[in-house]
Structure 1
Amino acid sequence: MKDYISPQEAGSLPGLLIERVKRTPDAPALRQFDEATGAWFQKTWREVYKTVAWARNSMEWVFFDMATLACGLVVVPIYIKESHSNIVHIFNDSGARLLIIEDVETWNALAPIHSQLKDLMRVLIVKPFKDSKKTGLVRYINDWVCHENLEVQIHEDVTADSNATVVYTSGTTGLPKGVLLTHNNIMSNAWASLQYFDVFREDVFLSFLPLTHMFERTAGYYLPVMSGATICYARNVKTVGEDLVTQKPTLMICVPLVLQRTYEKIMAAMKASSPVKRAVFNLTLGVGKKRFLKEQGKGGWHPLLLLWPLLFKLVGKKVLDGMGGRLRTIVSGGAPLPPEIWKMFVYLGIPVVQGYGMTEASPVISVNKPLDNVEGSVGAPLPGVEAKIAPTGELLAKGPLVMKGYWNNPGATAEVIDKDGWLHTGDVGEIRDGYLFITDRLKQIIVMSNGEKVPPERLEMAVRDVPLFGNVMVYGERRPYLILIAEVNAPMIEEFAHVMGVSTDGGRHIYDERLQTALLALINEKLSGFPAYAKIKKLHLTNDVWSPDNSLTTNTLKIRRKAIVQHYSAEIEALYSQPTAPHR
């Protein structure tokens, strides 16, 4: 059953928890894997409430977040693998005085920058550690907090308009900026999202994206508290596939990369299967498309639809069972989802919807609905959200979701929030029949030496349809032609090389002229709808994995263009200095 708590009833984010305990004290709230026992365990809302009061060591992020907010303090989350320079900036810009950190090893790893954290007064370690490691600064959290079974009380100064969190955007260039969000920013965003989706107390969310990011925090944490659903925390990113099967969630939010990996596995399995199985799979996609269009009110009945129950049982249900068997909706956000991946899932009967947002908008601006799922669109603006396109083509948004501003940075705030309260998203888009379509980033347009302008993200999305690649980046700023730097899918590129008769010994196959020529043909086939000047002339393949660890992507896995150009500067220059031959 539905049991939503409105922002007015809650009053603040910790007020959500207090109201939830009043309504469903014994319903399952949080589920987590215990490494010590090797078993899953869960806590009810009543137990979560008590844990917040004395901050016992379990499901720590949620507990400490709620406790901190109830005290009227501001939460500043930090990504665990953030660079040292960014950590110093975040600490000193925010003026953070208290750090809650998982273990003493993580704190010790920050030793080179301890002296640079100017305002830090106390470090609380969640996991027990040796007394010899304790100092005036560092404490075991259970030695520091109150252990009395107290009632949770919200500080009298906490209101809906109080500051709740400063979230530092990972950004693709420069130092992170602190996005200041209020309790109402976040609650209004979660509440508006619930007007587009049915979420029941019996639902289970699988949470695996970092809670340092507002997509997971709003949609995967505060929204379930608001609706009374259970949150199940995956053991880690690598075990998401297993945890889907064992925990059987009904709802999941994710980034496109997760769906892309599932897509690649299915496509590889189909390629290795018999002609009969491939034919059944393709028939399922064809009939599934007709079913989807009819369901969306965009197509009529067709005799082939009589085959759908059987085809879904043979194909779609097996894919769904591989994801736990109960998923009712998957929301993809954070980056564009390649069209072919979206089509495969929805045509197999697995509802994947795309949304759009940014940290500065708490974060969701728009999202598709399962029964109003428009191809290529990121959906309609949420209730209470206004959207329009500026003369420059930039998408603007307005509403209670818009941040208060950038912390300590009024100049940057004025650049993105105009005098009328419109948030300038930096994305180029269109609005068709009330639905948003994002086409590119305003400041990422490539201007070639011949004056032609190219939208790199549109090209990159088309190229990512080739399953041989992972992340890709188009480059050609002030250059005569475009090149592509591509992270390869190693097993698939090796198989492709074998088919072409190219030796993979020593890993030099990615530089082979025949292989690169064939790949360029595949790439430009995907770009057939673009002008001739927007075709890729040269290619550099790499076995490097682009990730936050090597700073080639942000923490939300968006590529860092400047970092990639710098990292591969020698290879880029080689591609342009030898324009008539592939890079070797």
Structure 2
Amino acid sequence: MTLTDLTLPQMLRERARTDGERVAIRQKDFGIWKPVTWARYHERACRFGLGLRALGLPAGGHVGVIAENRIEWVVAQMGAGLVGAVTVGVYPTSPTSEVAYVVGHADIEIMVCEDQEQTDKLLAALPQLPRIRKIVVMETKGLRSYAPEVRQCIATFDEVEQLGAASGAQGLIDEALARQTLDDVGLMIYTSGSTGKPKGAMISYRNIRGVVPGIVDRLQLGRGTTHLSYLPLCHVAEQMLTSFVPVYLGSQVNFGESIRTVQEDLREVAPSMFLGVPRIWEKLHAAISIKVQETGGLRRALFQRAFQACLPLAEKPRSQWSVGERLAFAASYWTVFRALQNFIGLRNARVALTGAAPIPPDVVRFFRVLGVPLIEVYGLTESTGMVTGHRLDDVAVGTVGVPTVGVAHRIGESGELQLRGDMVFLGYYKNPEATAQTLQDGWLHTGDVVREERGQLKIVDRLKDIMITAGGKNLTPSEIENTMKGSPYIKECIIVAEGRRFVGALVQIDYETVGQWAEARRIAFTHFRSLAEHPEVRGLIDAEIAQGNARLAQVSQIRRFHLLTKELDHDDGEVTATMKVRRSSIYKTYAAEIEALYA
């Protein structure tokens, strides 16, 4: 058996044996970065896994985790894997009803919660969850407030590790790993549920091993790669860079103090690789745009001059830069761009990624001009993560690159992208109908319409989202929406066009950037609604949409729009935990406002 034939838990054991003293993880606690070696990582995972068994978890049992990213998350995941159990992640931002659905549907027997807030969600739903044997809590603050009968069904994370250490049953792990094969299910990752109830994608160890070589090759990663983990670990995008790649490659992961300290943590870690979903890049773009507007005239002119000088270099490989272009970028870098890279913490990034949702091309181009090597990648939960991406020296902004190593692809009827390879998942848990629709003759039907552009794949839209106007014109709403979201003042844009005589839109302002714009003009407002309803804000958004319309075909231009007076909210069912818009829910909620657009 070669190393590449090992499952993820088997590979963790091998990593501890060969690289035991190297740092695997750094966890920030109270401002201090604490290193954890591969040997210690493996030891804690073994103890936790044996502790789970001591609590009654059977082989093949399901362990749930609901927490922000931290070392205990991956210790729980690897511990479960070392004793032959399956890990299921739950979004920490989910309300009680969604938590109850996933925990119940996934048949979770032991639930690992971060703190009292997450524990309360589970306790509220406990009558509906008869399979739960035990709740394991990472942070003990507030546990004493529970009644004795409630406290009996709770154990602390430390107690479970101590239970495992005292069991003396190391042989149990060796036996479990000896039986473990690449075809065993290691993870269940629930889809975001943008069109219905979330579905549990069963991910095998073969899927995990199958996706890693393509990621490593396309992103040019190595043992010296460093990564800041902050996106939810119940999402496949963060799993692939926090769990899959580091264990197989031996690279380092950093866990900050909180999702709220990402900007500060980025500056301290200065990682060589960074993953940001489009909303992260859009927020950074908006923050820089506002800073530039607020600065003095000389600095603003200096930035504009540097940006325009380097704009032609956004998509040109550095190996092809002329001497003049190199000098122009060097001058811009030392006078302007270096400080901006430090501001966002990405001066040492050798590769930066965006994926999981469409991103405005202008945002990608903006960061590439600044010297941040941002590339767009594409993947699904069902493909165990990234399956296409730009090569670092061949970027076509607006596309998602070409398939990675081991990925076979074809374009089916209606332009749908279909994939095949070891990374294609096993199917949906307890949902054979959905599995049969998605997996046909070994091909994964992605539901995404693509076309080839400049030798690379461009995602046109979701097959089910393509709209036909009353005049019979086919529209791709994501193209229109992304064009508008390129504005720093527009956070969300939801297109209405199906069966309509022209394109309408629901628009949500970016409260932070529009608020700063309003303050600079001494416009009084007290909250989101008062800001959104101000006539001058309406004029601002009108101008931004007119700018966007100028870049679209006439049939795709937004003729009328309604400004939302509240932010779209996960708890209201308007967006998913990953902030994907639930179109059907929004169309229902804002039916009266939509009809008013066409009155």
Same fold (TM over 0.5): yes
Aligned counterparts, 1:195-206, within 5 A: 195-206=217-228
Aligned counterparts, 1:277-316, within 5 A: 277-295=299-317, 301=322, 303-316=324-337
CA distance in 2, matches of 1:385, 1:458: 26
Structure 1 residue 426: deviation in Å? 0.9
CA distance in 1, matches of 2:71, 2:321: 49
- Structure 2 SS opposite 1:458: helix
CA distance in 2, matches of 1:68, 1:459: 44
**Equivalence for 1:138:** 154
Match of 1:461 among 457, 482, 493: 482
- Structure 2 SS opposite 1:173: coil
Match of 1:90 among 102, 105, 109: 102
In the alignment, does 2:149 pair up with 1:127? no
CA distance in 1, matches of 2:318, 2:390: 12
CA distance in 2, matches of 1:271, 1:213: 36
The structure-2 alpha-carbon separation of the partners of 1:432 and 1:411, relative to structure 1 and needing over 3 Å to count, comes to same
The structure-2 alpha-carbon separation of the partners of 1:125 and 1:495, relative to structure 1 and needing over 3 Å to count, comes to closer
Structure 1 residue 251: deviation in Å? 1.1
CA distance in 2, matches of 1:560, 1:7: 45
Match of 1:332 among 354, 357, 367: 354
CA distance in 2, matches of 1:525, 1:359: 35
Structure 1 residue 483: deviation in Å? 1.8
- Structure 1 SS opposite 2:164: coil
CA distance in 2, matches of 1:555, 1:380: 28
Match of 1:32 among 27, 32, 57: 27
Structure 1 residue 499: deviation in Å? 8.4
Structure 1 residue 494: deviation in Å? 4.7
The structure-2 alpha-carbon separation of the partners of 1:527 and 1:139, relative to structure 1 and needing over 3 Å to count, comes to same
In the alignment, does 2:165 pair up with 1:147? yes
Could you tell me which amino acid in structure 2 is paired with residue 48 of structure 1? Answer: Y
Structure 1 residue 365: deviation in Å? 1.4
**Equivalence for 2:57:** none
Unpaired runs of 5+ residues, structure 2, are: 52-69
**Equivalence for 2:425:** 403
In the alignment, does 2:42 pair up with 1:49? yes
Deviation string 1:31-76 (CA, Å, 9 cap, x unpaired) is 11224xx422121111111111212998211111011111111111
**Equivalence for 1:241:** 263
CA distance in 2, matches of 1:491, 1:192: 38
Structure 1 residue 104: deviation in Å? 4.1
Deviation string 1:269-323 (CA, Å, 9 cap, x unpaired) is 21223333233222322333344555256x6626353232222111111112123
- Structure 2 SS opposite 1:171: coil
- Which stretch shows the higher mean deviation, 209-218 or 338-347? 338-347
- Structure 1 SS opposite 2:348: coil
In the alignment, does 2:6 pair up with 1:11? yes
Match of 1:20 among 4, 15, 21: 15
- Structure 1 SS opposite 2:231: coil
CA distance in 1, matches of 2:149, 2:118: 13
In the alignment, does 2:89 pair up with 1:67? no
Could you tell me which amino acid in structure 2 is paired with residue 444 of structure 1? Answer: D
| Contact in 2 for aligned 1:296/1:373 (Cα 8 Å) | no
Could you tell me which amino acid in structure 2 is paired with residue 139 of structure 1? Answer: A
Structure 1 residue 454: deviation in Å? 1.7
Structure 1 residue 127: deviation in Å? 2.9
The structure-2 alpha-carbon separation of the partners of 1:15 and 1:445, relative to structure 1 and needing over 3 Å to count, comes to same
CA distance in 2, matches of 1:284, 1:31: 37
In the alignment, does 2:343 pair up with 1:350? no
| Contact in 2 for aligned 1:474/1:485 (Cα 8 Å) | yes
- Structure 2 SS opposite 1:364: strand
CA distance in 2, matches of 1:300, 1:77: 45
**Equivalence for 2:338:** 317
Deviation string 1:363-416 (CA, Å, 9 cap, x unpaired) is 111111222222111111011101221131111111111111111111111111
CA distance in 2, matches of 1:157, 1:317: 52
In the alignment, does 2:581 pair up with 1:559? yes
Give the TM-score, by structure 2 length.
Answer: 0.88
CA distance in 2, matches of 1:206, 1:445: 36
**Equivalence for 1:480:** 501
CA distance in 1, matches of 2:282, 2:10: 38
- Structure 1 SS opposite 2:187: strand
| Contact in 1 for aligned 2:310/2:328 (Cα 8 Å) | no
Match of 1:220 among 218, 236, 242: 242
| Contact in 2 for aligned 1:290/1:305 (Cα 8 Å) | no
| Contact in 2 for aligned 1:245/1:323 (Cα 8 Å) | yes
- Which stretch shows the higher mean deviation, 312-321 or 112-121? 112-121
The structure-2 alpha-carbon separation of the partners of 1:531 and 1:369, relative to structure 1 and needing over 3 Å to count, comes to closer
CA distance in 2, matches of 1:440, 1:477: 15
- Which stretch shows the higher mean deviation, 523-532 or 376-385? 523-532
CA distance in 1, matches of 2:368, 2:360: 13
Match of 2:114 among 102, 116, 123: 102
What is the identity percentage for the equivalent residue pairs of Structure 1 and Structure 2?
A: 26
Could you tell me which amino acid in structure 1 is paired with residue 121 of structure 2? Answer: A
The structure-2 alpha-carbon separation of the partners of 1:502 and 1:482, relative to structure 1 and needing over 3 Å to count, comes to farther
Aligned residues: 568
CA distance in 2, matches of 1:370, 1:469: 30
**Equivalence for 2:443:** 422
The structure-2 alpha-carbon separation of the partners of 1:125 and 1:498, relative to structure 1 and needing over 3 Å to count, comes to closer
| Contact in 1 for aligned 2:194/2:582 (Cα 8 Å) | yes
Structure 1 residue 205: deviation in Å? 0.5
The structure-2 alpha-carbon separation of the partners of 1:310 and 1:222, relative to structure 1 and needing over 3 Å to count, comes to same
Deviation string 1:167-219 (CA, Å, 9 cap, x unpaired) is 11112121111101101101211222112223233322001000000110012
The structure-2 alpha-carbon separation of the partners of 1:209 and 1:7, relative to structure 1 and needing over 3 Å to count, comes to farther
CA distance in 2, matches of 1:30, 1:501: 48
Deviation string 1:106-156 (CA, Å, 9 cap, x unpaired) is 222333321111322222223333383655533334444322477553433
- Structure 2 SS opposite 1:344: helix
**Equivalence for 2:65:** none
The structure-2 alpha-carbon separation of the partners of 1:133 and 1:230, relative to structure 1 and needing over 3 Å to count, comes to farther
- Which stretch shows the higher mean deviation, 308-317 or 427-436? 427-436
Structure 1 residue 538: deviation in Å? 1.9
The structure-2 alpha-carbon separation of the partners of 1:102 and 1:515, relative to structure 1 and needing over 3 Å to count, comes to closer
**Equivalence for 1:580:** none
Could you tell me which amino acid in structure 1 is paired with residue 46 of structure 2? Answer: A
RMSD after superposition:
2.6
